[in-house]
A and B are shown apart, each in its own frame.
Chain A
């Protein structure tokens, strides 16, 4: 394009200012994208939750248990296809910072309920027949470089005096859903049951149910909660997505916080870029007047200013997104399971580009309109 030289020559007029503006754009876009990814991670549990699954927990709270016998009653309710009980294990692998979720599972029903979590049949068979067996998610195994056959020691102080529990890694599960959790560690219910104190035997942490149809969710949930009402262990049954959302909310209204920070970043970026463009245009009033005098139209002048701000926005934006592409996997890997997996989706990248374009246009619009309305005679008088 014949005007590109004019646009780019002006861009590089003040190199330090250009670098700083592009740099602030890149950092802001990186931050915005990172926040979008974290927000996405918090909401992903809800999005990926099975529509046909219910979670039953103790009405008092998730850390309170319920009688194991509830399972039989739950399974008798019409509409419940399968029910599996889980328990929190809470062991420490080598160091406390190596956190990852560890669940004691019911081998008989786990795969029937959590159908998207796939374990090869031969590995599952080994796990079921091995009392000290364990299954790890693919990401977890990758994180600690575990492979099938490894012996995994976990220290635990939740169930009596601190002791080391030894597990054999019999299998690795994968998740069919993109961005689905692959960071869990499953261990055998029987091995757990044998090694916990008598007084907490016969209890389960929660149940996950698979329903015949998602349409049964409300009726089944009510039936369960009504059935255990006024007992010592009242229940709270909700859909898996509601459970995930509630779980995320325990950390506070993270999403609102992230949205607020993101908006502040966006607005600050707009002010910084807008101010830079305004200064840049003000410095060139005389030159713009000359362009108009020799025949460049008002629309061209607007296009010229908008092109400059758009080029700055796109260069800064793409740098920021490039930084996000490089940094987010590294940051995610170092979060050690404290957050759900951080996934930089094509949607988030697209949103970043759209945001860059929007800020580019918005920041150039006011100075551009000012330059467009500039009266040549007045501007030349100021030169």
Chain B
């Protein structure tokens, strides 16, 4: 169940309470997010939409522990991440977050297998255990037969599949997808979305996704709109939902 009124019970996997994010640019303060609330349960699939500069990626960065809010709190699976040190946050990311980027961001000198193995290098798994995990992840994304290919030998859709395999290989608490189909043609985009659907439906993954594509967003359980740093639930009143509940 996804809520943006800040009134959910304590069972939510991800709880965002009143987060603000302000940047300084040339002495001017720019408020990107304004008192945002969000509750996401395990197995939810949320899409964030909104115009450029609305704060979608900033929200994703905050949820993924890549950035810290100017105010407010984010709790994931009972861990409050907003006050963690940079080093603790890095370890937390390794355990809890899987990232899927628009531009794939694979390491070009590593094979698909080696790219997917990267997050596992941070664990205490043995080489054979790592291999088993990587092979499983690549099978899930349908690339078991391409594991020794380099990114340049793969199509855009296949590269994105490798990125997804890298994101799920360590079985993180949730996945963050930033425009996962933004660089793909429609057919490849559909295939990637089918895969993401499968991760949610079959593997019960929790996914938060940023997209500009309404067709892609339509596949999520809920679509939330961000406008000028304020979160608005789709299909509801355009009234912003601020910290402490609906205004």
Contacts and interface: CB of A to CB of B under 8 A. Distances in A.
Interface stretch (B37-45, B76-84, B86-94, B220-228): B86-94
A298 to B, nearest CB: 7
Contacts of B93: 293-295
Interface string B127-139: 1000000000000
Contact of A12 (B107, B109, B127, B166): B109
Interface string B76-117: 000000000011001101110001010101011110001000
A293 B64 contact: yes
Interface residues of A, number: 24
A286 B102 CA distance: 13
A2 B120 CA distance: 10
B188 interface: no
Contacts of B64: 293
A296 to B, nearest CB: 7
Contacts of A295: 90-91, 93-95, 119, 122
B110 A380 contact: no
A12 B90 CA distance: 28
Contacts of B166: 294
A377 B61 contact: yes
Interface in B163-212: 166
A9 interface: yes
Given A291-B118, A296-B122, A13 B66 contact: no
A3 B120 CA distance: 11
A9 B109 contact: yes
A126 B91 CA distance: 84
B1 interface: no
A380 B121 contact: no
A90 B195 CA distance: 91
Contacts of B109: 9-10, 12-13
B66 A377 contact: yes
Contact of A380 (B90, B95, B101): B101
Contacts of B101: 290, 380, 383
Interface string A1-31: 0110110011011000000000000000000
Q: Which of A292, A293, A295, A380 has the most CB of B within 10 A?
A: A295
B120 to A, nearest CB: 9
A3 B117 CA distance: 11
A225 interface: no
A291 B94 CA distance: 10
Contacts of B87: 297-298
A47 interface: no
Contacts of B119: 294-295
Contacts of A296: 90, 94, 122
A9 B61 contact: no
A66 B110 CA distance: 79
B158 to A, nearest CB: 18
Given A293-B66, A376-B66, A298 B121 contact: no
Nearest to A297: B90
Contact of A3 (B61, B67, B107, B121): B121
Contacts of A5: 110, 114
B67 A293 contact: no
Nearest to A11: B109
A234 interface: no
Q: Which of A2, A6, A10, A293 has the most CB of B within 10 A?
A: A293
A294 B121 CA distance: 11
Contact of B99 (A3, A10, A12, A293): A293
A5 B114 CA distance: 9
Contacts of B90: 292, 295-298
Contacts of A12: 109
Contacts of B107: 6, 9-10, 287, 290
A296 B105 CA distance: 15
A373 to B, nearest CB: 11
Interface in A335-383: 376-377, 380, 383
A2 B114 CA distance: 11
Q: Which of B66, B67, B103 has the most CB of A within 10 A?
A: B66
Nearest to B121: A2
Nearest to A288: B107
A316 to B, nearest CB: 20
Interface in A263-303: 286-287, 289-298
A9 B61 CA distance: 29
Given A6-B110, A295-B95, 13 more contacts: A5-B110, A6-B107, A6-B114, A12-B109, A13-B109, A289-B105, A293-B93, A294-B93, A294-B118, A294-B119, A295-B93, A376-B66, A377-B66
8 contacts: A6-B110, A10-B107, A290-B99, A291-B118, A293-B66, A294-B122, A295-B94, A297-B91
Which 4 A-B pairs rank lowest in CB-CB distance, beginning with the nearest?
A295-B94, A9-B109, A290-B105, A376-B66
